[in-house]
């Protein structure tokens, strides 16, 4: 028998029919011999609707009252899903973030989880109940016990944090895609499904904009060794496993307040090759970097800036040893880049360049980290 946390997003519980389908999937998981905690988001576009209502009342509503308002969306979902489970004869109970002991910072709209007290969860699990938890929310660690929300991706964060707190065997994230794909299938129809991905790779993808998992959730999974599976709500396909490395046990206090920056790395062996006033036409960059790649020159960074008029500056960084060859390629293709443009294209090379990289998922949602790292 496994202890499982399942999370269902807004599209998965967007209607009565979908809630009933989720209830059947949950019951199947229990009948397979598993203990289960279910975390749900607000139904469909409920959160957007609540935000719109608030804007009709106030052009600048307070964050506290927005948390009070938005937290109700998930409470609707947990009550309805619990009712659906009970209709199937499955013993279940709905609980808010506060009731399951999710304690957060007193930072409205973007609180981070400090700790989770899983005593009530453990008691209900021992009673054989399915626990349906409101994602995206918690309660502050102040004497006022303020309702707080976790910000974007908060239900993912809630689910993985709860899985860490109760030492679940794994955490399943159910969504409207079959798993983690090589790119956004809504933009690229032939995107490929990944069967496995490491937590570090997923953290990189999530921090660069992949919406299937929030970086905060992936960071918790990595830090606490939570096995994640991303699956579709509409099928029984196995989805994608997010593989976390073995870790030593760590306390659940300050759960999300790990170091914001893991490391600062630098590379002094860098040169920048820039082309100034390149005509702003489709295919120019592809032509330039295609020629460079044919010379087997490895490019590190690409930077493009827009000038007034119809020209851009395009720059790339390479190792210092490759600076001359890269400059020669750039100079050679100036005539083809220039075309009929009257403004001359120029090549500029700078060799006294260093690359500084700041690594750490804890920077997300924490203003000021870059400023501290760049203080002269």
Choose the most confident range, by mean pLDDT, from 89-103, 209-223, 241-255, 267-281: 89-103
Can you say how many angstroms the Cα of residue 323 is from the centroid of all Cα atoms in its chain?
A: 37
Helices marked H in the chain? 16-31, 46-57, 63-87, 119-126, 154-165, 199-207, 215-224, 284-294, 323-332, 334-338, 369-373
* SS3 at position 225: coil
Q: Which of 219, 226, 255 is CA-nearest to residue 241?
A: 226
- Residue 248 scores a pLDDT above 80: no
Q: What is the pLDDT of residue 215?
A: 87
How much is the pLDDT for 137?
Answer: 96
Across 200-211, b (16+ Cβ under 10 Å) vs e yields: eebbbbbbeebe
Q: Is the pLDDT of residue 135 over 90?
A: yes
- The mean pLDDT value for 323-338 works out to 86
Give me the half-sphere count of Cα atoms (radius 13 Å) on the Cβ side of residue 16: 2
Question: What architecture does CATH give domain 3-243?
Answer: 3-Layer(aba) Sandwich (3.40)
Is the pLDDT at 376 greater than 70? The verdict is no
Please classify residue 248 by burial: count the beta carbons closer than 10 Å to its beta carbon, then call 0-12 exposed, 13-18 middle and 19+ buried.
Answer: exposed
Superfamily name with CATH number, domain 263-358: VC0802-like (3.30.2130.10)
Write down the mean pLDDT value for the chain.
Answer: 89
pLDDT in tens, 139-155: 999 888 999 999 888 99
pLDDT (0 to 100) of residue 362 = 65
pLDDT, tens digit, 9 for 90 and up, residues 292-315: 998 889 888 888 887 666 788 888
SS3 at position 250: coil
Which residues are CB-contacts of 310 (< 8 A; sequence separation ≥ 6)? 279, 280, 341
Quick check: 120 pLDDT over 90? yes
List the domain boundaries for the chain: 3-243, 263-358
Q: Residue 130 is encoded by which pair of tokens?
A: 């399915």
Per-residue model confidence as pLDDT tens digits over 47-75:
999 999 999 999 999 999 999 999 999 99
Tokens of 23: 């209830």
Chain Cα centroid distance, residue 97: 20
Residue 327: partners with Cβ closer than 8 Å, 6 or more residues away: 273, 347, 349
The larger pLDDT score, comparing residue 345 to residue 87, is at 87
pLDDT band of residue 17 (cuts 50, 70, 90) is: very high
For 179, other C-beta atoms within 10 Å of its C-beta total 22
Tokens representing residue 180 in the block: 């983690």
Q: Which two tokens stand for residue 38?
A: 């279910």
Q: Is the pTM of this model over 0.75?
A: yes
Task: Determine the Cα–Cα distance for residues 283 and 85; give it in Å rounded to an integer.
Answer: 56
pLDDT at residue 71 in the model: 95
341 pLDDT more than 70: no
Cβ proximity of 120 and 101 under 8 Å: yes
Q: Is the pLDDT of residue 90 over 70?
A: yes
- Per-residue pLDDT of 271-293, as tens digits, reads 999 888 888 778 888 888 888 99
∠ CA 121-244-110, rounded to 5°: 60
Answer yes or no: is pLDDT of 250 > 80: no
133 has a pLDDT exceeding 80: yes
* Terminal CA-CA length for the chain: 56
CA dihedral 177, 181, 187, 188 (to 10 degrees): -120
Task: List pLDDT tens digits, range 147-193.
Answer: 999 988 899 999 999 999 999 999 999 998 899 998 888 788 888 99
């Amino acid at each position: 028998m496994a202890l499982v946390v399942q999370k269902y997003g807004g599209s998965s519980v967007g209607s009565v029919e979908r809630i009933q389908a989720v209830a059947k999937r949950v019951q199947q998981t229990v009948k397979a011999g598993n203990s289960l905690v279910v975390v749900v988001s607000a139904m469909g576009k409920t959160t957007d609707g609540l935000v719109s209502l608030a804007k009709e009342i106030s052009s600048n509503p307070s964050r506290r009252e927005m948390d009070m308002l938005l937290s109700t969306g998930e409470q609707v979902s947990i009550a309805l899903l619990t009712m659906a489970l009970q209709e199937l004869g499955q013993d279940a109970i709905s609980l808010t973030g506060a009731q399951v002991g999710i304690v957060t910072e007193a930072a409205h709209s973007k609180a981070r989880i400090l700790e989770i007290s899983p005593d009530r969860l453990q008691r209900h699990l021992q009673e054989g109940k399915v626990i349906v938890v409101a994602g995206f929310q918690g309660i502050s660690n102040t004497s006022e016990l303020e309702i707080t929300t976790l910000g974007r991706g908060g239900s993912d964060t809630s689910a993985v944090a709860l899985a860490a707190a109760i030492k679940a065997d794994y955490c399943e994230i159910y969504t409207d895609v079959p798993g983690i794909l090589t790119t956004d299938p809504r933009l690229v129809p032939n995107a490929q499904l990944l069967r496995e991905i490491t937590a570090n790779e997923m953290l990189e993808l999530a921090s660069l904009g992949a919406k299937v998992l929030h970086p905060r959730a992936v960071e918790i999974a990595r830090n606490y060794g939570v096995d994640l599976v991303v699956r579709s709500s509409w099928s029984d396909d196995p989805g994608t496993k997010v593989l976390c490395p073995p870790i030593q046990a760590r306390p659940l206090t300050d759960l999300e307040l790990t170091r914001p920056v893991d490391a600062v790395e630098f590379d002094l062996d860098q040169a920048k090759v820039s082309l100034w006033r390149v005509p702003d036409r489709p295919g120019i960059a592809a032509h330039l970097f295609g020629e460079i790649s044919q010379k087997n020159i490895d490019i590190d960074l690409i930077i493009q800036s827009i000038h007034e008029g119809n020209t851009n500056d395009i720059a790339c960084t390479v190792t210092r040893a490759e600076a001359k060859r890269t400059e020669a390629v750039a100079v050679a293709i100036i005539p083809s880049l220039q075309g009929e443009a009257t403004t001359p294209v120029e090549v500029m090379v700078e060799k006294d360049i260093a690359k500084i990289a700041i690594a750490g998922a804890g920077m997300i949602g924490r203003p000021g980290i870059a400023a501290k790292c760049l203080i002269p």
